[in-house]
Structure 1
Amino acid sequence: MDTTPIRSRIRAGLLAYAAGDAAGVPWEGCRAAEVHRLDIDELPRRGDWPPGATSDDTALTLLVAEYLRDRGAVVDEAEFLTRLAAAAPGIRGIGPSTRAAVDRFRTSGAVRADSGDTNGAAMRALPIGWAVADADVRRTVTAGLSRTTHGAAPAVAAACIAAAMASAALDGESPVAAGRSETDWAESEFGIDLTPVRRAGEGGWWPHRNGVTLYAVDTMAAVVGVIRHATDQRAGVADALRHAVSLGGDTDTVAAIVGGILGGREPRTPDIPWLTRVDLPDTALLDDVCAALAALRASTD
């Protein structure tokens, strides 16, 4: 099977993901009113971060992609956490749940988190959606890797929704429809209420003026809402990223996930004006993991 088209879409998704991450980094934690929309494309400096820097979002998404390249669609919690613990010291901006999981693994060898309802699992779930076409396998791998750092059901559900949307986009299907279907499944599977995500898919969600929070359900509602808006407006990837950042709050994560999902629909690198100024992963690494994820998808289809 020729995996070239899928490989190209995965690459477009990864590049758009990094572009969204870099666009959001300077504005993370700002209220919506504090985000200067006309300045988003300029990637202004944030503190001591270099212009165009990406965050833990891109770093951990690549970590998952490399794990899948090397191990395939299997859950090896200790192996994943070993990789995460080794990489963590060099990653900017790792969230509280992920850092706690790394510390716990180093101290006791524990491979599962009992809690954690923030968005760290969802933001690194897209490579699983790109690599695994079968829904049951995708859910098993997503849930298994999510629970190494985020044990709360809403966090695992959000990761499953993100992975499902990424998978659908890669196949040219509606990510919003896939998100709706996965939300139905997750509510039944985990016995939780995901009304904000459902409302976002119906066009009935609006962000708080203080911005999108770190909580997984809030993040996925924002992602679905932005993608629904972009679809309705027939907006390009760059405009969707600007809209995601303009919501404020956890701007880098929302924009990154939006970019990864929408970028995965593109047959080639999307037109994002600031992409050349993003601190992108090494080209050889990108090519390697994209080819491996495409091959894995072909084997699980």
Structure 2
Amino acid sequence: MKEMNNASLRDRALGALQGISLGDALGMPTQSMSHQWIQDAYGKIEGLVNAISDEPIAPNMPAGSVTDDTEQALLVAGLIVKGKGHIDPHELAASLLSWEDSMKAKGSLDLLGPSTKFALEQVRNGADINQTGQTGTTNGAAMRVAPVGLAHRVTSSGFENFVYESCRVTHNTVPGFRSALIVAASVSFGMEAESTRDAISHALRYAESIHSRGAWSPKADVLTRTRLALEFAKENEGNPDFQDMLRNEFGTSVESNESVPVALCLAWHYAENPLGALLAAANIGGDTDTIASIAGGILGASSGTEAFPKEFTEQVSMVSNLNLAPIADSLVDLREQDE
């Protein structure tokens, strides 16, 4: 991997945060909708659009609005900066509970996902924080983990420990940890890789070398399914039915062993067309905002701010009141302290 100068690292970190938020906003109006419903309601998502009135999670939200994916990723980023690289699990639990309470107060339907909600309700009721999260197999940990990859090099000591800090409260399972590890490593390698595909390849080899943590789950292995998804992408270059086949063969639900492989597959397939990856995710159906957000973080980290149209990222920042550059700079400051 090539050495990156300071400015390039900062541009890539900002690109990752822009990719997370843009993917989230593009997928916002279609989340939890079927592919057919999306076609009937919007025709085809080709940019930032308002959500329809019967959108299941974000009815009538204006174009450019982000959801829990971006908000929780930025929440994690803030905790990493506050903890000088570490995430305190008690603070993470308290911050997520406070975030959901504020969303409820605003009347929002965009609340915590099923695994996170179940674990944090246990925390709220006095459960030992070391015992929660042992049923969390969904993608909540993976969707918010990108700042770990921005703040730490995979080659630094204990990268997997930083990932585990971000997920064990709510997703203390093999699928929860492994999906977060794959995403965080893809982002971290992306910061200094030659290309998105190089970053993903490095990340999968790294994840294979790390002993999985968390409670066992009988569900299909995330890493294995991600490898299969990338083989699928390689075999279907130029196939006009690529998106339909991807959805049908791998699924697009909130389960980490569906949405995470699909997100990485789209990032791989559209490595030279980052916006195309996010638009494909927005149209594919299912957990569209999370799939697009994860793909956007990886593509942005490996491509920088030039990956996405400036008018789109500026609209998202304006509508959602985001100021991402200082956060990106703070995470890179931590990265530069890694040995």
| Both proteins in one fold, TM over 0.5 | yes
- Does residue 234 of structure 2 align to residue 196 of structure 1? no
**Contact 1:64 1:124 survives alignment (8 Å):** yes
Partner of 1:289: 327
2:111 corresponds in structure 1 to 93
Structure label with greater radius of gyration: 2
2:305 matched residue in structure 1: 268
Q: CA deviation at 1:294?
A: 0.2
How far is 1:183 from its partner? 4.1
Q: Does 1:229 align with 2:269?
A: yes
1:35 to 35, 38, 62: 38
Secondary structure at the aligned position of 1:133 is classed as: coil
Amino acid of the residue matched to residue 228 of structure 2?
A: R
> Is it true that 1:125 corresponds to 2:149 in the alignment?
no
Does the 8 Å CA contact 2:79/2:88 hold for their aligned counterparts? Answer: no
C-alpha displacement of 1:35: 3.1
Q: Is the 2:299–2:307 Cα contact (8 Å) retained in structure 1?
A: no
- Percent identical across equivalent pairs? 26
The corresponding residue for 1:160 is 181
CA RMSD between the two structures: 2.4
Corresponding position: 1:54 with 2:91: no
SS at match of 1:151: coil
Deviations 1:57-97 (A, max 9, x none): 00000001001111022242112212222222234332111
Counterpart of 2:152 in structure 1: which amino acid?
V
**Secondary structure of the equivalent of 2:158?**
helix
For these two proteins, the number of residue pairs brought into alignment is 295
| 50 and 44 in structure 1: CA distance in 2 versus 1, 3 angstrom threshold | closer
1:16 aligns with 2:19: yes
Letter in 2 for 1:62: L
Task: Output one character per residue of 1:127-181: Cα deviation in whole Å (capped at 9) or x when no partner.
Answer: 0011110445221111122011112211110000000000111112422202321
Is the CA contact (8 Å cut-off) linking 1:30 and 1:211 kept in structure 2? no
Question: Partners of 1:246 and 1:183 in 2: how far apart?
Answer: 29
Match of residue 184 from structure 1: 208
Query: Is the 1:8–1:267 Cα contact (8 Å) retained in structure 2?
Result: yes
1:151: which partner in 2? 172
**Cα distance in 2, alignment partners of residues 145 and 253 from structure 1:** 17
Distance 2:330 2:127 in 1: 29
- 1:108 equivalent in alignment to 2:114: no
CA distance in 2 between counterparts of 1:13 and 1:134 reads: 16
* TM-score of the superposed pair, with normalisation by structure 2: 0.79
* Residues 1:255 and 2:292 are matched in the alignment: yes
| Residue pair 1:211, 1:248 contacting (<8 A) in 2 also | no
Q: CA deviation at 1:281?
A: 4.2
The alpha carbon displacement at 1:25 in A equals: 1.0
Unmatched 5+ stretches in structure 1:
none
1:269: Cα distance to partner? 4.6
> 1:211, 1:250 within 8 Å by CA — same for their partners in 2?
no
- 1:115: how far off? 1.3
Conservation of the 8 A alpha-carbon contact between 1:12 and 1:264: yes
Question: Which structure ranks higher in relative contact order (CA pairs < 8 Å, sequence separation ≥ 6)?
Answer: 1
CA distance change for structure 1 residues 110 and 281 in 2, over 3 Å: closer, same or farther?
farther
